[in-house]
Structure 1
Amino acid sequence: MKPSEHSLCARFKTPRGFTRWMTTSALTAGSLAAVIVAADALAQSPGAPASRGDASARQAAEGQRRFSIPAQPLSDALAAFGRQAGLQVSADAGLVAGVSAAAVDGVMAPSEALDRLLSGTGLAWHRFDGDTVTLSSRPVTQENAALSTLTVVGSRMPSEWAPVDGYRAVSSATATKTNTALRDIPQSIQVIPRKLLEDRQVIQLSEAVESVSSVQQSSTSGNRAESFRIRGFDTPGYAIDGVMLNPVGDRPETFLDMANVERVEVLKGPASALYGRAQPGGLINIVTRRPSDTFEGDATVQAGSEAFRRAEGSISGPIDAGGELTGRLTGATQREDGFRGPAAARSERQLASLALRWSASQATTFTFGIDHTEQETPFDRGLIVTADNAVSLPRDRFLAESWSRVEARKTRFSFGAEHLANDWLTLRGTVRYDDAKVRDTGIDFRGLEDDGRTLNRRYTDRIEDSTNLVAQFEGIATFDVAGMTHRLLGGVEYAKSRMDFLSYRANIDPIDIYTPVYGAVRPAASLNSDYTEDIELYSLFAQDQIDLSSQWKLLAGLRYDQVRQTMEQRAGTSDPDIDDGSMTGRLGIVYQPITPLSLYASFSQSFSPQSGMAQDGAALIPEEGEQLELGLKADLIADRLSLTTSMFQITKQNVATSDPRNPDADYSLQTGEQRVRGVELDIIGQLTPGWEVVASAAYLDARITEDETLEIGNRLTGVPLWSSSLWSTYEFQSGRLAGLSLGGGVTTVGSRKGDLDNSYQVDGYQRFDATLGYPLSEHVELSLTAKNLTDEEYIATPVSRTENHPGAPRSLIMAVRASF
């Protein structure tokens, strides 16, 4: 049966689900508002827990604000206080060095928040000129009011979403869904801030995570989107602002455009206790750029090798006169010819994004966001293993056809509400809806003929039309019991996803891999698969962060997920329906013998439903993962340079393997087990004023430990035994060269096995990059970035014997960036 081009295009382009989304979102948003109002009334009722303190008349007069400041070094805590209070804080640098601040969380007057921060430090504060606060170790008098100062100025943007000053972040919400100091989290987590993305002129997500240990790109799904491998395990999706991508898809729908990314955060190890179904290696969370309280903007124009052209810009600030409504508008457009040869078509991508924040009152905030991405790229499986059992073809050898392309678009809507019911209870909810459509006319490689040069090929005309609705409601209660501070998180989540899948297939003319001749005719194809897949997810989770003392901190969490997956198969082979529940947990302890040092230990679990069928027709049970981790976090230079090092073991069980009792049928046994043992090191921060650095290294022993068909001891696909990265920039602070910045780095990756059979191997590589920047004026900077300076030829991502993606050759990118 030949596909109708008209019907395929109609199916690809017809909007679907928008009315359903509007109705569902309106109902869910209304429900969230009703719950918030009801919970607020309950919180103010006589039966509610007592407030942690009654505000004085003076505090009431100065007005109350929302504060969420984790326990951390005092200098960092004062920076957060300045942002959230809208005040300037000045202190003698010697007074705050090596001093820790207690956590402050709730609605209160700035004076009360500052009293709590300074409790037990021996420091006093005094307010000068309305918006300036000065600290001292003795009562402030007219004679000692002039101090050698450390000054911190900021907006009231919540610190877990705020831009990072330099390379070093001090807190994150990714690991706990609360604003928590990184040093208090009993798990390895790395934050890549926007400044580092800009310094390196990062174009895609894989370039950003190169700075993080144990993270590599695992696939591009034929040059459609990126997925990653964390601590040795493939992680097909990632989260955006704490909400996972569509679970019905086994990969993202489009490449992520970096124009709207504030920071990239990588949580290592199982994350199911907070995020539900996931692989055990870890989680990447993309934090998007939020509206700012003051007017600002930036724009960048780039041009480079392979006809690369890109322009992006963002403008943000208050919309109304009172500043209660703020917004950010971001856009980007990009096109390039690429390095894969003239037969490969040009790549194009566009992004438009709008974010709004309405502070309805001191206690209630609403957010809304919408972003839309469109892209068109050549469908590309890369290179194959040749007759010499190596990937030895040149990196620009394109083995498909110019008509083999991927067209994709995705729209994401989000709505959020947060309400501070009182000084101990915060309520918040999020609704997100995604609508994506992908069509590709892909060419897959089917293997070499006996002559070792003729490659058989297959053409697939494929459409994926997917929607995803996620609703979350959470409450955070902060209270003291028996001298211990608890931050208790509880929540529910509902997700509903659907994918309509349609594909046609046909063989096309083979190609000579050494002297390729293009021009194969796109043939008539026969129906291969047609189905609708639905997934519903119901979840309930709880987490408690307990400050046992000033030195000991405990984290415990549990989550229960019920997954229901059904498939209506109209053509092709169907998998059994899934109706599985799973309880996952995490437990961690942190010990801080001195302020700049944290020692931690943790245990965490994961689960991931999988498709497939046993010989008796039963559905496969979910894969399960467990991790044990020991680690250390330290400030190598107080408040400037941080180190995280860890050792861990992850075991994944219930891995499906082919059933040897019936090798000709597509049945599975769940006897497989995979294990990764590793050691990691990550360093990030500032060595001296103007000198920033980020470095990482990892050793991963990733192996098959149980299997029915694969050899025990085989290494996992694409996982190097050793890998490391280093990047550093220096900006001259004074003199004739003031403002000039120089940067460079090296990425090192060891050899990797290309498949679980370990049938072939790709070599390791070293890639050197460099950058140079100079300010043309106060608001305009010119920069030049060179990538792969030595023009190293290497395989960046091995996937299988018929899919290996080469790294890009040496390239130059010139950029002009303006900010105001």
Structure 2
Amino acid sequence: MTKTALLVSVGLSVLVPAQAFAQSAEATVDAAAAPEDQAMSDGEIVVTAQRRSESLQNVPISITALTADQLASAGVASTQDLTLATPGLLWAKSSNNSQPTIRGIGSRNASAGDEPNVATFIDGVYQPEQATTAQELSNVERIEVLKGPQGTLFGRNATGGAINIVTKKPSFETTGDASLTYGRYDFMKATAYLSGPIVTDKLAASFAATGLRDDGYIHNIYLDTQQGVRKAAIIRAKLLFVPSDTVEIQLNGLYNYSWDNVTYSGQPLNGNSQARRATAAQNPLNLPIDVRVPTKPYTTSEATVPFFRLNQYLVDGHVSIDLGGAVLAGLASWSETHGFSHSVTDISPLSLSINDFRQRGRAYNQEITLTSDNDGRLSWLIGATGFQSRTLYDPLTSISPTTTTRLVYGQKSKAIAGFAEATYEAIDDLFLTAGIRYSWDQKQSYNQPLATNVVTQGKQSWKDWSPRAVIRYEFGRGSNVYASYTQGYKAGTFNATTVNGTLIPANPERIEAFEVGVKTQPAPGITVNAAAFHYNYTDLQVSLVTTVNNQIATLLQNAPKAEVDGFEMDVSARVTEGLRLNAGLSLLRPKIVDFVNASVNVPVLVGGLPAGNSTVGPVDVSGNDLIRAPRWTLNIGANYDTAFAGGVLTFNASAFFSGRYFVELTNRVKQPAYEVVNASVAWRSPDTHWRLSVFGQNLTNQKYYAGAIITNFADNVSYQKPRWFGVSAGYSF
């Protein structure tokens, strides 16, 4: 039996016997709806994954949706942790850039103004900056991951899928919550939440705050200090105004601060570092090789402490008006981002390359939709969106032992789109859906070396039509089969770090997705959802980190064609009143079909040992796997409640298993197969106000990447935190 088949058998053997013991359905999953759209009746789960209220089991889209309790049970405290609980999702980081990948589709470029192709939303507001989407989860109601192209309804740049973070809505009843957590490495976290009415039944408000810090777990062997430090603060305020039964207005504000050097505190994988072949002039202190090139896990060696600091501000407003027979909804948002980075690109005490940059970003979103009610055989929606943004590195300073260069560069984006979709029940229980989106995008790039002040600019626009077609047959309550065809589109982009990149853009990415799926509840308490899919993926935007005139630069190319075949399954079961089990499986075949002229980094050998990389090309990487696409993943979770000391004692355990995956196109650098096991025990008092818990994370002490970036200087990888434990106490009312 193959390893994949064995994993399937193990996952199903855990859950299938539970069918005989199931007592009743449990509503624990939601999808891309605002809290006010959530409704449950007799165990039915109502979602708005298609921008209207529908049963989750009737939505013909692959969805993983996690409530706040499910996130806590799986040990998911940040967006990057979503990997552990979502089949087919790998949330990767490249230096300060967050790049989630779903089913092998994800961003491979991190140039200024290049938005990810897995679109992330906070309360329905699009987040264009790659640096802002990796954040602590604060005041979260739930998170929904929609898999496959979502461009027709959720916008451009959603070729891989969409992730919607939904936070709690202000309540007209006074509620509150506070918690304190302490763990290994002096990890400390505090949360607070308060919500209640200002004017009875008319005006309500909420305030949420989260702060954390730890002292780090990565040892800098040169400075003899700790790195891998994280600090964060998130403050969110909301106002809800309900002037009548048909009108609702919400205003939200967010401040997000982080200071982090986990991914900047890397080490050269297998010793592949340019510091290994340093000249005497580059190594005036005659540092030995074991100081220049650290090889033990959780070590780094740098002459200065690197970091990335981020300040994000977001204000968004939402209006919903029930017109009778249809709902008119509008959204507008403004966001601003300020980042500062200090990094040692060669990750060595020789400081062969230091890069500092100040990043400034600003974005505006506007959206309006008109959605019919669900009465009758025909339902429909129409909408339009607008988007404007600007990201500028002002300046990027690159320092080597012999030269210093300063560059101002960036990119502006403008986009407008219109979309429509209709679903018709042709005969009883047979539903036909058709949708279309028209997109217009414009990008403008800017490059100015401060040594010469010569300004180079580029400008390009693109148009796209993205259709969607679905046929769905409902063969029982909560059970249906479906087949869908969807196209996705990611706008073209410039790489303004070089003159050529400022003038010549990469073409848009496009994807054709075919999917067949089944969603069924074969017995009370049992839910089984499965899907098989095939993607035709063209003009992939791929990047290579290199150096041009001693300055870090990114080469941007289009890979002609890739294909992805896959299968996913989610199973959940309520075994007894207190015991719940769940599992998720993802199988992928993510192949580059045609890319014969790739530019890649290959090791320079000195004495038979890797000593940094050189850029070579053209190289044929056809037949290789796409990056960040493990061929299999499996997650299993268990939750058990029992009475104890007058209250409730809850045992949680979750395990995530992943096959190997690659981080660059030649498939030379890989993350080996690994697993992550988390567990906790929590007690809630009889009055349900107090709670206490102890938890353990990464119990098998696995070494898996927090970040990976391949440059001419090194194969730079950093690892997630090793095994650690903590305790938490909270009070709610």
Specify the TM-score bucket, using the shorter chain as the normaliser: 0.7 to 0.9
Question: d(CA) in 1 for partners of 2:218 and 2:437?
Answer: 45
The SS at the match of 1:393 is coil
C-alpha RMSD of the superposition:
3.4
Normalised TM-score (structure 1): 0.71
Question: d(CA) in 2 for partners of 1:267 and 1:306?
Answer: 35
1:496-645 pair list within 5 angstroms: 496-507=388-399, 525-527=404-406, 529-571=407-449, 576-612=458-494, 619-638=505-524, 640-645=525-530
The SS at the match of 2:218 is coil
**1:281-319: CA deviations, max 9, x gaps?**
211111111112322111111000111000001111222
From the two aligned structures, give the one with the greater strand fraction.
Answer: 2
Question: d(CA) in 2 for partners of 1:757 and 1:592?
Answer: 45
Which letter does structure 1 place at the counterpart of 2:703? E
1:89-108 pair list within 5 angstroms: none
Is 1:245 the counterpart of 2:127? The answer is yes
Question: d(CA) in 1 for partners of 2:302 and 2:40?
Answer: 43
1:212-611 pair list within 5 angstroms: 212-219=86-93, 221-222=94-95, 224=96, 226-235=98-107, 236=116, 237-246=119-128, 249=129, 251-253=130-132, 255-320=134-199, 322-341=200-219, 342-344=225-227, 346-378=229-261, 380-381=263-264, 382-387=266-271, 393-422=295-324, 424-445=325-346, 457-478=352-373, 485-507=377-399, 525-527=404-406, 529-571=407-449, 576-611=458-493
Which letter does structure 2 place at the counterpart of 1:259? S
Q: Which residue of 1 aligns with 2:700?
A: 790
Question: d(CA) in 2 for partners of 1:601 and 1:715?
Answer: 26
Which letter does structure 1 place at the counterpart of 2:584? S
Moved more, 342-351 or 624-633: 342-351
Correspondent of 1:193 among 47, 51, 67: 67
Which letter does structure 2 place at the counterpart of 1:570? Q
- Using the TM superposition, give the Cα deviation of residue 735 of structure 1 relative to its aligned residue in structure 2, in angstroms: 6.8
The SS at the match of 1:277 is coil
The SS at the match of 1:195 is helix
Rate the CA distance shift 1:232–1:728 in 2: closer, same or farther, 3 A.
same
Question: d(CA) in 2 for partners of 1:701 and 1:796?
Answer: 24
CA contact (8 A) 1:504 1:525 kept: no
Is 1:722 the counterpart of 2:646? The answer is no
The SS at the match of 1:170 is strand
- Structure 1 gaps, min length 5: 1-95, 99-149, 152-156, 447-452, 510-522
Q: Which residue of 2 aligns with 1:53?
A: none
Q: Which residue of 2 aligns with 1:654?
A: 539
Question: d(CA) in 2 for partners of 1:347 and 1:163?
Answer: 38
Rate the CA distance shift 1:647–1:362 in 2: closer, same or farther, 3 A.
same
Moved more, 548-557 or 406-415: 548-557
Rate the CA distance shift 1:207–1:612 in 2: closer, same or farther, 3 A.
closer
**1:268-287: CA deviations, max 9, x gaps?**
10011122222522111111
CA contact (8 A) 1:366 1:418 kept: yes
Question: d(CA) in 2 for partners of 1:328 and 1:524?
Answer: 52
The SS at the match of 1:259 is coil
CA contact (8 A) 2:399 2:405 kept: no
- Using the TM superposition, give the Cα deviation of residue 254 of structure 1 relative to its aligned residue in structure 2, in angstroms: 6.0
- Using the TM superposition, give the Cα deviation of residue 573 of structure 1 relative to its aligned residue in structure 2, in angstroms: 8.6
- Using the TM superposition, give the Cα deviation of residue 637 of structure 1 relative to its aligned residue in structure 2, in angstroms: 3.7
Question: d(CA) in 1 for partners of 2:664 and 2:309?
Answer: 29
Question: d(CA) in 1 for partners of 2:355 and 2:206?
Answer: 40
Which letter does structure 1 place at the counterpart of 2:148? G
Rate the CA distance shift 1:180–1:698 in 2: closer, same or farther, 3 A.
same
CA contact (8 A) 1:298 1:819 kept: yes
Q: Which residue of 1 aligns with 2:12?
A: none
Residues matched between the structures, number: 632
Question: d(CA) in 2 for partners of 1:158 and 1:274?
Answer: 15
CA contact (8 A) 1:379 1:443 kept: no
- Using the TM superposition, give the Cα deviation of residue 443 of structure 1 relative to its aligned residue in structure 2, in angstroms: 1.8
Question: d(CA) in 1 for partners of 2:39 and 2:404?
Answer: 51
CA contact (8 A) 2:418 2:439 kept: yes
CA contact (8 A) 1:718 1:799 kept: no
- Using the TM superposition, give the Cα deviation of residue 347 of structure 1 relative to its aligned residue in structure 2, in angstroms: 2.2
Q: Which residue of 2 aligns with 1:687?
A: 575
Question: d(CA) in 1 for partners of 2:312 and 2:541?
Answer: 32
Rate the CA distance shift 1:408–1:735 in 2: closer, same or farther, 3 A.
closer
Rate the CA distance shift 1:289–1:713 in 2: closer, same or farther, 3 A.
same
Rate the CA distance shift 1:814–1:637 in 2: closer, same or farther, 3 A.
farther
CA contact (8 A) 2:251 2:316 kept: yes
Which letter does structure 1 place at the counterpart of 2:333? R
- Using the TM superposition, give the Cα deviation of residue 610 of structure 1 relative to its aligned residue in structure 2, in angstroms: 2.9
The SS at the match of 1:689 is coil
CA contact (8 A) 2:172 2:204 kept: yes
1:668-817 pair list within 5 angstroms: 670=558, 672-684=560-572, 686-709=574-597, 710-732=620-642, 734=643, 739-778=648-687, 779-795=689-705, 797-800=707-710, 802-817=715-730
**Highest Rg: 1 or 2?**
1
Which letter does structure 1 place at the counterpart of 2:663? G
Which letter does structure 2 place at the counterpart of 1:315? L
**1:147-195: CA deviations, max 9, x gaps?**
xxx99xxxxx9766549999x982322x312222222221201101111
Question: d(CA) in 2 for partners of 1:744 and 1:490?
Answer: 44
Question: d(CA) in 2 for partners of 1:490 and 1:697?
Answer: 35
**1:20-66: CA deviations, max 9, x gaps?**
xxxxxxxxxxxxxxxxxxxxxxxxxxxxxxxxxxxxxxxxxxxxxxx
Rate the CA distance shift 1:741–1:402 in 2: closer, same or farther, 3 A.
farther
CA contact (8 A) 1:245 1:252 kept: no
Question: d(CA) in 2 for partners of 1:208 and 1:718?
Answer: 15
Q: Which has the higher relative contact order, 1 or 2, with Cα contacts under 8 A spaced 6 or more apart? A: 2
Q: Which residue of 1 aligns with 2:56?
A: 182
Rate the CA distance shift 1:307–1:657 in 2: closer, same or farther, 3 A.
closer
- Using the TM superposition, give the Cα deviation of residue 392 of structure 1 relative to its aligned residue in structure 2, in angstroms: 9.5
CA contact (8 A) 2:515 2:533 kept: yes
CA contact (8 A) 1:695 1:725 kept: yes
- Using the TM superposition, give the Cα deviation of residue 617 of structure 1 relative to its aligned residue in structure 2, in angstroms: 6.3
Moved more, 374-383 or 614-623: 614-623
- Percent identical among aligned pairs is 20
Question: d(CA) in 2 for partners of 1:795 and 1:159?
Answer: 34
Which letter does structure 1 place at the counterpart of 2:421? Q
